[in-house]
Structures are given as C-alpha cells and as structure tokens.
Structure 1
Amino acid sequence: MAETVQSKRPNFSAINLGGNGINAGASQAASKSGSAKKLVIKNLRERPKLPENYQEVTWSKLKEAVLAIQQSRSITYSLEELYQAVENMCNHKMAAQLYANLKALTEAHVKQQVLGFLGDELADRDLFLRAMNECWQNHCRQMIMVRSIFLYLDRTYVLQSPAVLSIWDMGLDTFRTHVITDELVQNRTVTGLLSLIGCERAGEAVDRILLKSLLRMLCDLQIYQAAFEDRFLQATDRLYAAEGQRLLHERDVPQYLAHVDRRLQEEHERLLYYLDASTRRMLIYSVEKQLISEHLVTLLQKGLDQLLEQGRHQELRLLYSLVSRVKNGLVELGTGMSTYVKKRGRTIVVDEEKDRAMVQELLEFKDHMDNIMVQCFQNNDKFMQLLRDAFENFINQRQNKPAEMIAKYIDTKLRSGNKEATEEELERLMDKIMVLFRFIHGKDVFEAFYKKDLAKRLLLGKSASVDAEKSMLSKLKQECGAGFTSKLEGMFKDMELSKDIMLTFKQHLANQRKPPSLDLNVNILTMGYWPTYPPVEAHLPPDMFTLQKTFNEFYLSKHSGRKLQWQPSLGHCLLRGNFKCGYKELHVSLYQALVLLLFNDSTELTLEEVQASTKIEKDELRRTVQSLACGKARVIQKVPRGKDINPGDKFVFNREFTHQLYRIKINQIQLKETMEEQKDTEERVFQDRQYQIDAAIVRIMKMRKSLSHSLLISELYHQLKSQFQVKPTDLKKRIESLIDRDYMERDKDSPNTYNYVA
C-alpha cells in the first residue's frame, strides 16, 4: 500500500496576554528591574522526516498517471491523491525537478508522435490533415488533464519563476518545437490547407471544421503568420490575377461585376468560418487589387457607357460599391461618368436636325442622370459637381443655340393649348428647365428670344396661365437678379396699364353722342420694354380708321409729348360672317380681317386687287390668303385650286362654308423663323453685349483711373461672366473703340496701361 506523508505544521494558538493580573505583575516586575522583558514562545515539536526514496516513489506514481493520460488509459490513482502528491513535492522543494521530469516526459511523447506523420500511409492529403488534427486535439486534451493534476506546481513554482513556461504553454512549445516546425510536417500541413481552400474556391465542398481546427492550431502555436498566411496570400494573388485576366475577356461587365461581388462575399465567409481575423485586411486587399484595381480602367472603358446609357441601376450600384473599395476608384468612375455625359450631351446639342427636340431630350437626359445619382451613386457630392460641370461643358458647345431653344421650349409650354395636365406639373417642369438655364452662358440670348415669345403670348392672348407666366418670371429674377427681368416685368406692367386706359377710353366713347359700332381694344407698349417691331403699312376700312384716330386723339390728350406707332401685324379681330348655313363668328388676325372685309363689296378678287386695297406686304399677304383659302376653315375659295398662292390667282367668297362650331378661330400661317430673323435677333444681342462691355470698361476705369491691360481684362471677366462668355479679342476691340471715342487713353510711358479720360 502506498503511504501518504503529510507535512505537519506547528499549530499555534493565540495567547491572550490581557487580564489585569498578568499585566499588573508585568508592570511590577518592570518597575523593579527598571526595564521590560520580552515573552518568547518556542516551537518544541520536531519536523517529520521524509522517507529516503520519497521523491522517486512519488514521481513514479505521477509518471504512471501521465503516461496513462498520454496513452488514453485509465488512471490508477485518484486525482485528489495525485494533486496532493504534487503539492507535497512542491512544499519540500522538489518543484524544479518535478517540472523538469514532466517536461521531459511530454517531449518524449510528442517526439514519438511526429514519427507517425512521416510514413507513407499518410500520403493522402485528407488522411494526413485529419491525423494532424486528431494528434493536436489529443495533445490539447492530454495537456488539460496533466495541468489539472500539476495545477499546484503551475500556481506556485511557475508563477514564482518568470523564465519558466506554464504547463499549458510548455505543452504548446513542445508541440511547436518537435511537430509543426518539422520542415516536412509543416510543409505538408500548410500545403494541404491551401489545397483544401483552393478546392473550396473552385466550388467544391470541403470540411470547414477541419480547416478551422488546424488554422486555430497554427494560431495557438503562434506560427499562423509565418507558416501559413504569407503562402496563403501569395496563392490568393496568383489565383485572382489569372482569374481577372481570363474573365474580363470572357464575360461582359455586368457578369464580371457579379463575379467579383460573389468572390468578395466568399472571402468574407472564409474569414468568418475559419481564417484568422488578422488576415482580413490583406486578403480583401488582394481580391480588390487583382479583380478591381488592376482592371479598373479597362472595366470602365468597356462597360460604363453602356450601363449609363441603359440605366442599369443594379449593376451601377454594384460598380460604385466595388470601385469605392480601391484607391482612386471613385475618381476614375467620376471621370468616366463625366466623359460619357459630355459625349452623350454633345450629340443632343450639336445635331441641327434635332433642334426642335433638343430641350426635351436634355430634360430627359438630366432626369436620367439624376436618377442614377440618387439610386446608384449615393448622391456623391463630387459626382454631382462633375455632372453639373459636364452639362455646362457640352450645352455651351454650340454657342447661343441652346439658349434660344430653351426660350422657345418655354414658349410652347406656357402658350395656351399646351398639354400639361395641371399647374403643379407645369411648375415642376419649369423648375427642371431652370436647371438647364443655369448651365447656359448666353443668358442674354435667352432673354432676347424669351422676350419676343412672351410679347406674342401677351399681345395675342395666347398665354395659358398668367400665374405660370409670373412664376417663371420670379424664377428668372431669383436666378439672374432684378436687372435681368426688369424689361420683362415692364411688359406685364404695360398690359395692366393698357387695361386701365381702355376702361377710361370706353367711358369716353360712351359719353359721345354717337358711339362707334366697333369695339376697339388697344395695348400701349413702352418701346424700351418690348421687342423692336418694324413699321408696316396696312389700309384700314373707314370705320376702323376713324376709331383708331379717335383713340389716338384721346391718348395724346392724356399724355402730351408721346407718340403712338401702330402695329397692325399684332392685331386680331372678331368678325361676324353671313353664310348659307347661318351666321358664324370668325376669330382672325387683323390682316385676315382686312382681306375678308373686301368681300362685302366684291364677290371675286385677284391677288393683285387684294394687295392694292389692303397695302399688305406681298409675302405676308400670300400667307394671309393661304390661311383663308387653303386651310381647314376655307371661308374663301381659290381659283384655280391648289395649296400655293401665285400671281393672278382669284379668290371667291365661300357662301357654302359650314362648320360645327359657331365661333371659329382661323390661325394665321406663321413663317418659320427665317435665317434673316435669326441673325437679326442675334445681332441685337451682339449689340447689347457691346453696350454692356463698354459700360463695364467705363465703370471700371472711372473707379480705378489707371489700370494695366491684364488687370482690366481680369476685372471685365469677373463682372461679365454671370451674363455671357466673352473673348479676349472682343474685349480688345471694345477697348480700342473707347480709346477712339476719347473715353480712355494709353499711358505715354507704359503702352500697356490705360488712363481714364474724365
């Protein structure tokens, strides 16, 4: 029977030195001797001696238990008994030898294990990896049980010896030294792990639990980075470099993007399931570099334009997400997007055949790109600025034309008969148009055409909504300032004043003895506010002429010093016609009314006779009679029949005319804007620009008195950039003109300096 020896410690009881008797006696003794005496207590019990062979016997018992654990056999002794044996040896200063014996026993066992991994029976990758994992798991379990027995050693001797590893760390170090650092074993282990991961990347199902366990082993042994991670990242680089090159040629961009996204998700799953977290940054960087960064330019050149053109939001969202991961990815994507917008927009603006549809296509294109910005590019501020710059770039590729077409587009939407369903929709459309308006440089060109169209809408009563007109005016004022809209506001003011004047005039007519049989309505236009209309001649019937003369006298009596210039080309009339089917009211232009009134006295007239009676200009007369004889409502008939009006044609009043409506509007055939009219409008804009440049130069020189040429040009650019784009040659011409007119002069000592002439 094994004998258990326990160390016997002295059992000291607390001695109470209190009590009056003892204290008093001690005091008396002290007083007699003159000094205090110390009370000394001695342990008279002897320490028991250990048997001579105690260390050998106890270690043999512990060794037997450790070997039983290593060989997966049952332990003869109880754990409590073994733990007590360790404690006794530590208390009798045998801890160092006990630790050395345990370490040697562990090393011997581990060395024996490594031999099993070098045989041919484990040549198969999976068998080898499973054997390695089993060996590691067994080793960990064994060390846990051993540590539980030698726990007292771990908590006393090991803690008191900084240079000594804990039992668990000693087990790890032993396994690392004698198993995994073996060149052949380590190479087969890492190669097998890389092979398994490669198979999984190729789509095969692998044992992830085995991978996780072995990679955790490498981490615990602190050789994960040195033995595995470097080779793993190199293999990753090789795999995805080859894959990127191959798939970029085999697949289109959407398929390639989907593949890259799937690869990134797979690598994230590997990190989640079995790879160490320290590998995350380099692994993801490797995938992004080989599949995205290396092919970024090719990827964008190959597919970005197509994705943007087709509005493939899902693919664009994925593209944005992927390129945002890599350095300069968003910069390249933004540049590619900007290039596409400029190229696509230029095809809309430059094509003269699509001028009529230009603005509508621009609005649709802007909506298209705005949706992409919101849904795909996360409203990226830099992308939004690139989009604005791109629109401003291409929309001004064709000087002045976009400004003109925007003005005409607004005219079609604000004119009566437009198809916009509600005022809210019209308001939203105007807001979108204002976005395009901000991009154009020639805002004075826009103003010229907008003013001309607005005048027609106001004078001919063709405006769909006064509220919409004023809303548009307020938007322009907010965008460009009060100076830009002052003349346009003056036009509305003239229309309001004209209504008041007509009320007064009608009261004036009512007070006359014989009121006229005609009803006259006149709009008084301030020449500086309205477009310039060339004076034209038209012979009015006596009744019209008399009423016109009466108004002329009435107005001049109220406003002395003013002059009225009548514009018959802007007039319109309401006539009552007597046809075989009955009376009809005809809403016609003044020119159409003059032609129709001739048939009150004649049943047949030639073109030349009509012109002699009305004095209407030839081309205008042709369009007028064509609208009456060749249109849908043919109140006169042309002989011979045909669509064109030629000299010698005769016209007959059509008494057989019928129409389902009582009031019929007969539109005047409008000439398409001729090149001469176009050039005339542009010439007026050019003249206005010259006046503005001259005024800016004089204003600057009056303030500065003396200024160099370069500084003057810089100041002019700063002041005029918000109104229109100027060229240095134009500015130089205006400076020379002002010098010739003695507004300024060149400095005698410095020819590049100008002086203001007061």
Structure 2
Amino acid sequence: MRLIQDVESNVLSVGGPAGYLSHIKNRLESEVELFNKIFTTPDRALNAQLLNSILRLVESNLILVHLETLLTHGLVRLLESFPDPIAATSLLTFYKLLTRLGEPPVRRLRKSFSVWIKATGARMVEKANGGEEEEAKRDAGMVERLIEFKTKLDGIVVGCFAEDREMFFAIKEAFETFINQRCNKPAELIAKYLDLKMRTASRSMNEAEIDTCLEHVLVLFRYSQAKDIFEEFYKRDLAKRLLLSRSSSIDLERNMVMKLKKECGPGFTAKLETMFRDLETSNDLNIAYESVLAREAGGEERMEEEEEEEDRVELTVTVLTSGSWPMSQASEPKALLPTHLQTHLSRFEKFYGSKYLGRRLTWAHSLGQVVLIASFPKNNNNMANSRTPASFVHVATTRKELTVSTIQALVLLLFNVDTDNLSIDFQSIVQRTGIDEKTAARTLQSLACGKVRVLVKNPKSKEVSKTDRFTFNSNFKDEHFKIKINQIQSKETVEERSSTRDKVVTDRATLIQLSIVRIMKSRKKSKFNPLLFEVIEGLKSRFQVDVKDVKLAIENLISRDITPMSRRTALTHLNGNLPGEEGPGGRTAGQAPVVVSERPSERTRRAMNPARRGENSSILVESEVDDCQVLRRLERRYVEQAHWNGPTLRAPDQTSSRPSAAGRRAVPRVPLILTYRYLPVLIPIEDLIERLSARQRSLVLQYFGIIDCIFSRLVVGPTEQNTPKDQHPRGARADGEIDLAIKQLKALDPLRFQHFRQNLRDDLHDLRLHSMYSADRRAALDVLLDRLGLTHLSELLPNHPHRATPHCSLCLIKYPPDTSAVVLPCNPTHHFHPICIHRQLRKRPFCPICETRTLIPRDY
C-alpha cells in the first residue's frame, strides 16, 4: 500500500492536478473492467456490493489521501486555467469524484472555492502600490475585470459543478466580502462604468449585448453595500448626460432607471424619474413659449425683421427642479451675458412668471450649450456678419457649426468684431465675461490648446497664464462641418468627486440620527445593543453602518437642544456614558437604557417657556419633565417666540442692537425656536427657516401655525382656541407665495426637509384612523389635506375637482371632475368611487387593497 501511495504521489507531482485526476479516472475504469473479468457471480446485488467496496477503497487511497494537496494547489491551478478545455474537464471529474465520497469532501471543495474567490477578488479591488496615476489607471478597469471574473465563476459552476446552489451562494458571499473591503470605491467605479456604457453603448453594441451588460452591472451593484455612493454619483452623471446631450439613448436611460427601481424600490429612483419629467415638461414649455413669441411678434409689426442679424437667437430652456438635480447654486460661476442674449432670458423669465406665479428661475450657465455658426476665411480676409444664435463675423465661404458651452460662447463672442487681428489679454477676458480666473483659464485652454483650436494663444504653451494674449485663428481648418469643443474638466472632476463623497458622509450621519429617532419614537425605551442592531438592519440596504457612527449619532442627539417643534424628543443614557466607554454606564457598568421623552404636558411647557404664560422674559430655565426620566438642562439664551394674536399668526418684530427711542438697549437677534402644541414633526428645521427672507419667514411661520391648529382639531376636536385660526385670505397670489417659501426652505437642505415631510405624512396617516370616526374632525381633515397639498407636503388632496387622486383603486376608472372619492383611513392612497367601496364593505368590512379592517359603510 505504501508503494502504491508513493507511485500516486509521483504521478501528482509530475502530471499536475489535471493529469492526476485523469489518472484516477483511468484507474477506476480499469478496476471496473478487471472486476467484470474476475468476479462474476450469479448474484447481481452481491456483484454491485463488491464493486462498490473496491471502488471506495481505491477512491479513498487515491483521493482522500491527497485531498488537501488537491484543494490547496491543484484546485487553484485548475480554476485559474478555466475555461481551458482540459481544466474544465478536470474540474468536472474532480466534482463527480468528490460527490461519490459524500457531503464532507464536497463541503471542503466549496470552502476552498470560496477562499480562492475572496483572494482573487481582493487582489482585483485593492489599491495600487504606485501613486495616484497608477491607482486611477488600475481602478479604471476594475469593473470590467469583476464582470469577467463573475462570468467565469458562473461558467465554472454551471459547466463543472452541476449548478450546485451552494456554490452560487459561495460566490455571492465571497463577492460581498471583497467588494466591500474597499468601502465606497467599488460603488463609485460601478456608477462611472455605467456612465461610460450609457454614452457609448448604442455605437458599439446591439440591444441584446446592452441588456446583458446592464444585468452584469446590476449584479455587482447588488453586492455593494455603499448604494448611497452609487446613487449620488449615478445621479450626477445622469444629469450631465441628459443636459449636455451625451446619452446614447433616452430609452436606454429609462430602462436602467426602471431596473434600479425594481431592485431598490421607488424611493431610490424618485429624483431620477423627476429628471425625466422635467425634460418632458420643458419641451412643452418651450413649445408654449414659441407660440407666445409668435403672437407677440405678429402684434408688434414684425420686430424680428427690424432686429440686427447678429442679435437673432433661438432659445431653448430646460427648467429643472432644484431638489432633484444634483446642482449647487453656490458652485455656479457668475457670467455677464451680452445685452441681446440677456434680453431673451428676461423675456423667458417674464413668460415663466406669468405661467407659474411665485416661482423664481436661477440660470445655470455652466450647464448650457450654444451652437455658433462660424465663418472662417480661406485667404486671411476680414470677418463679416453671419446668421443665427451668435456668430463670427466674416464674409467667407468656409462655414462651421461649433457646439460649445455657454461660457465658451461668451469668450468667443468677444472676437466677433470687424477689427483685423484683434488681440485680447487674459485679464480683459475675465473682466468682460464676468467669470472667475480659474474658469476662464480652463475655458481658454479648451479653445486655444485643445484639439480644436479656434483661438491662438501667445506665447504658445499648454498652460494658460494671466499674461497671455489671444487672437482669432483665421487659419483654422477642419474637414467636419459640425464640431464639438469640450470643456477642460479633469481637475474639476477631482473636486466634484471629493464634494460628492463629503455630501454622502454628511447624509449618512443624518440618516443614522433619523433612524434612531424613528426607532425610539416607537419603542420609547431601549438598551444600546438592540438599538444598534435595529439601526444597522434598517440602513444596511443603503450603506454599511459603523458602530462608531451610531455612538456618535446618539451622543449628538443627547447633547442637542431638542426643540418643542420636534416634540421635545430626547435620547439619553441614564448613567451618562455609552457602553464600551469609561465611566458610569461604560465598561464597568451594565448597559444603560436609552430613553425617549414624550410630549411634555401643558403645565411643563409653560414652565419651560415663560413666553407661553404671558411673561416678558424669554430666557429658558431648567425644568423637570413630568413624562420622562431625565432632567434636561436648557441653555440660557434669548428666544424669538412666534405666537398667535387673534385669528392670524404674528411673528415678533426683529430686534436690533441699536438703542430704542426710549434709550433702552434692545435684545440682540437670537436663534429661532418654534413651539407648537400638536404639530407632530420630529425633524427640527428652525435653522433653515432663519435663513429665509423676512417675508418668507413670516409666511412659513403663519403656515405651520395654521397646520398646528388643524392638527389640534384632529386630536381634541374643534374648540374656541383652534377653530378660527386657519381663517386667513386665500388667493392665487398668496398660495403662490407660500408655495415658493416652502420650496426655498426645501432647497436649503433637501435631505432634511424630505425626512421632515415624511414624518409629517406618517403622523397624518396615524391621525386619519381617529378623525374618520367624527364628522367634525373629518371636515378638519379635508382642510388639512388642502393646506398640505398647497405646498406638496401631502400628495393626496381633499375630494374636490382639482384633487390629485387619478382613478379608483378598484375599478381603475378615472374620477370625473365633478365627483368625490372615498379615502380609507388605512392608507391615503386607497381611494375609491363611493359606489365601489360601498358594495365592497357590504360584503366584508376590510380594505380591498391591504385587507385592513375598516369602518362600516355609513361612516363614509
């Protein structure tokens, strides 16, 4: 036996794993042939039993003895050589041999397979040892390598491992492990890879290949835990593709968004879908604007015929929803447009303002495009006028259509004069266009140092300095008629990526705090470990939560001044320290429970806020909350308190640091704190309200005060205090101003406002169950829905001709304008024709959509 093992070891070392597995297969076949020649008995069962015993003995000596070597070295060589036919055949033979030996050897094969995948994948995603250029070069092909690796593994499992489900699970677990070792980078690179495919797919692949590619990318996306990083980068890239016309197919873009919606839910793609709706709305808006211009031109004695040829501009505007597009007004470069271009923008603003009352447009020139018809001389002649948007001036036979950005067009228009050999220095270009020096340098570099050089720089170099001068390139030649000049954006891209990552980190901290507040709102009291587990489980679909971030979020919530608008909700540890830290409640103590305080009683509220009991003092004092188990110390600071005065809400006058007429020194302006009794909002936004203008701040305070009074009617019913509070003038102008103020509030911090609105909707949903039992409270509910629908804080409006409910949830027939709908208290989106729901409730007193027990028909 020892001699036989030595011979087999020699075969393994000389022939390698493929040769050894082939040797085992041949030995087993020879044993079967030898058995059939020698052992022949009439009893077939005995023959089979004897043959199995012989084969088991051979397999044990040939396979089990060398199994560790085969799994450690042989399997790796075969997997790396796949899809070589010899390696594929050997892997299939190896798997069949192990399955004959039972489950333990196969389990060891799965474990070795998983270890190899993790090791190979970790090498693919690890950082390069060189500098930033080497790392960027290596990262550029990471997604392609991962897709090829995943395709190879699927081929191994399907072709060699008999589609073993446990093998597929091993692949999934291994990919989730090594892809998330580098945290956010793979998710960012997946988004960039998708951006590349979306821009070039239709030119290099057919429809089937594109769909296969998208499916492969989605598989990698599922493995990544940093889905918020992917979302942010994908949203930015999608915005650039849509606005700069870089997408190869709009249908392909919509298809990808639908795939992401199916994968992650509608909340993940809500802003992406808004982008497409904005484009459709802008198309309709441009058609309406052109028709208005046509009517005005006809009534003004054909003003276009009197205009100068160079002043004629064809304007196309894309109106974007500020909260859905990843553009920042702070980073938008300022620019001075020529008078004839500014006139067209002002005319469109006037048209838009008449169509949408109260809305304000902010122009993003860095995202605009201009098509210039340029005339270039053939024999160094002078330039003359040409037709359409903005043009070079030259009488020539060579015409080119230049597609440039708005900033590039402003620079080129400076050379649109009749002067020969016009030369403009760098500082003059900066002054006359109004752009900053950094943007000007990148713009001039793209026009004078790139592939398409319509300007000539003196002195010649690849970099632009402040002492350079530029002239029009009269010797420009290009065989194409349509030429696109791209902006230089390499350095800017690095800054954009850094700012995107910083934004995601900030949003993560906010989401963790919001998750803690939501959990404590329902649990009231919890220990640290269960709270930590629930936070991690709730956010794992978006990103990987770090325990340190959760501890920091709890500390921030404990130390933060919780305002009355947020129900005075506070998180605190009774012993003062988080588990795992030194001191009481730390390593030497047990886990301290986390307590959430309920809404204070009215007596306590008046004690905490002297302004509520009519005193002039506005200093918050220390007070004990009756409903909770923690003593809260509020900082001594001045408070600007909004209060009711008669039927309307009046904010106190802004104080000033200058002495008053009586010689008394006024109190300086301090942070705003809103105190409402029933408004169930958990996300404080007082600091955002302070940043609004005085008029908008007054409208927002008045609006939330009215909402608070209506909420009080839903809770306690109509009283003398809350019944007249929502009576104030309504009209198109007032409603437009309130809507604009709320939109400005949302634009200051879209993420926090989104969660503020979601909490408001959640608590409104809870109150519907109580309000539907009383007729007077049902009336208050209609008023509340009307007020919330005014600013789009609620998607469901009351039952009037202008409601937002599209069709009955049972018969799917749209509501006529003059009919009403029945909304069940289980969910605001479950609404029906009265006759439809009455028939249903007569049969079963349950909601036909969610099967929740509801009221009897007469209550509706």
Asked if Structure 1 and Structure 2 have the same fold, meaning a TM-score greater than 0.5 normalized by the shorter chain, the answer is: yes
Looking at CA atoms only, which structure, 1 or 2, has the larger radius of gyration? Answer: 1
Q: Structure 1: how far apart are the matches of 2:447 and 2:495?
A: 26
Q: Could you say which residue in structure 2 is the equivalent of 1:523?
A: 318
Change (3 A) 1:452 1:631: same
Q: Structure 1: how far apart are the matches of 2:170 and 2:377?
A: 68
The counterpart of 1:562, out of the listed 359, 367, 371, is 359
Deviates further, 564-573 or 624-633: 624-633
Q: Secondary structure at the match of 1:722?
A: coil
Q: Does 1:318 align with 2:110?
A: no
Q: Could you say which residue in structure 2 is the equivalent of 1:258?
A: 22
Offset, 1:654: 1.3
Q: Structure 2: how far apart are the matches of 1:377 and 1:544?
A: 68
Say whether the 8 Å CA contact 1:423–1:468 is kept in structure 2: no
Q: Could you say which residue in structure 2 is the equivalent of 1:338?
A: 114
Offset, 1:331: 1.4
Say whether the 8 Å CA contact 2:554–2:571 is kept in structure 1: no
Say whether the 8 Å CA contact 2:574–2:594 is kept in structure 1: no
Q: Secondary structure at the match of 1:484?
A: coil
Say whether the 8 Å CA contact 2:353–2:359 is kept in structure 1: yes
Q: Does 1:754 align with 2:590?
A: no
Q: Structure 1: how far apart are the matches of 2:400 and 2:52?
A: 86
Say whether the 8 Å CA contact 1:413–1:420 is kept in structure 2: no
Deviates further, 539-548 or 675-684: 675-684
Say whether the 8 Å CA contact 1:586–1:663 is kept in structure 2: yes
Q: Structure 2: how far apart are the matches of 1:391 and 1:551?
A: 52
The counterpart of 1:448, out of the listed 232, 239, 256, is 232
Q: Secondary structure at the match of 2:66?
A: helix
Change (3 A) 1:418 1:595: farther
Q: Could you say which residue in structure 1 is the equivalent of 2:836?
A: none
Query: For 1:92-171, what aligned pairs fall within 5 Å after superposition?
Result: none
Query: For 1:494-643, what aligned pairs fall within 5 Å after superposition?
Result: 494-512=278-296, 513=300, 514-515=303-304, 517-533=312-328, 534-581=331-378, 582-601=398-417, 603-643=422-462
Structure 1 length-normalised TM: 0.67
Say whether the 8 Å CA contact 1:334–1:383 is kept in structure 2: yes
The counterpart of 1:488, out of the listed 268, 272, 276, is 272
Q: Could you say which residue in structure 2 is the equivalent of 1:702?
A: 521
Q: Could you say which residue in structure 1 is the equivalent of 2:250?
A: 466
Q: Structure 2: how far apart are the matches of 1:405 and 1:499?
A: 33
Q: Structure 2: how far apart are the matches of 1:577 and 1:718?
A: 60
Deviates further, 747-756 or 287-296: 747-756
Q: Secondary structure at the match of 2:197?
A: helix
Change (3 A) 1:590 1:675: closer
By percentage of residues, which structure has more helix? 1
Q: Structure 2: how far apart are the matches of 1:429 and 1:644?
A: 39
Say whether the 8 Å CA contact 2:176–2:223 is kept in structure 1: yes
Aligned residue identity for 2:205: A
Residues 499-531 of structure 1, C-alpha deviation per residue, up to 9 Å, x if partnerless?
111111112222223357201111111111111
Deviates further, 557-566 or 288-297: 557-566
In the alignment of these two chains, the number of paired residues is 522
Q: Secondary structure at the match of 1:584?
A: strand
Offset, 1:287: 1.0
Offset, 1:646: 2.2
Q: Structure 2: how far apart are the matches of 1:483 and 1:635?
A: 46
Q: Secondary structure at the match of 2:153?
A: helix
Q: Structure 2: how far apart are the matches of 1:675 and 1:585?
A: 31
Q: Which runs of 5+ in 2 are unaligned?
A: 41-46, 129-134, 305-310, 379-397, 563-568, 576-589, 599-860
Offset, 1:469: 0.4
The counterpart of 1:721, out of the listed 540, 544, 554, is 540
Say whether the 8 Å CA contact 2:12–2:19 is kept in structure 1: no
Aligned residue identity for 2:241: R
Q: Structure 1: how far apart are the matches of 2:60 and 2:415?
A: 87
Offset, 1:306: 1.9
Aligned residue identity for 2:399: Y
Say whether the 8 Å CA contact 1:412–1:418 is kept in structure 2: no
Residues 471-492 of structure 1, C-alpha deviation per residue, up to 9 Å, x if partnerless?
1001101110111111111111
Say whether the 8 Å CA contact 2:179–2:223 is kept in structure 1: yes
**Seq. identity, %:** 41
Offset, 1:238: 4.8
Say whether the 8 Å CA contact 1:444–1:724 is kept in structure 2: yes
Change (3 A) 1:695 1:660: same
Offset, 1:266: 0.8
Q: Structure 2: how far apart are the matches of 1:747 and 1:666?
A: 60
Say whether the 8 Å CA contact 1:305–1:340 is kept in structure 2: yes
Q: Secondary structure at the match of 2:181?
A: coil
Residues 361-415 of structure 1, C-alpha deviation per residue, up to 9 Å, x if partnerless?
1111111111111111111100110011111111111010000000010001111
Q: Structure 2: how far apart are the matches of 1:307 and 1:698?
A: 53
Q: Structure 2: how far apart are the matches of 1:578 and 1:351?
A: 50
The counterpart of 1:744, out of the listed 570, 576, 587, is 570
Offset, 1:260: 0.9
Q: Does 1:414 align with 2:194?
A: no
Q: Structure 1: how far apart are the matches of 2:261 and 2:60?
A: 52
Q: Structure 1: how far apart are the matches of 2:155 and 2:200?
A: 31
Aligned residue identity for 1:546: T
Say whether the 8 Å CA contact 1:341–1:390 is kept in structure 2: yes
Q: Could you say which residue in structure 1 is the equivalent of 2:858?
A: none
Structure 2 length-normalised TM: 0.59
Offset, 1:672: 4.6
Offset, 1:325: 2.4
Offset, 1:669: 2.1
Say whether the 8 Å CA contact 1:415–1:463 is kept in structure 2: yes
The counterpart of 1:267, out of the listed 21, 31, 40, is 31
Deviates further, 480-489 or 415-424: 415-424
Offset, 1:647: 2.4
Aligned residue identity for 2:89: Q
Q: Secondary structure at the match of 2:399?
A: strand
Aligned residue identity for 2:39: L
Q: Could you say which residue in structure 2 is the equivalent of 1:734?
A: 553
Say whether the 8 Å CA contact 2:528–2:591 is kept in structure 1: no
Q: Does 1:296 align with 2:67?
A: yes
Change (3 A) 1:619 1:748: closer
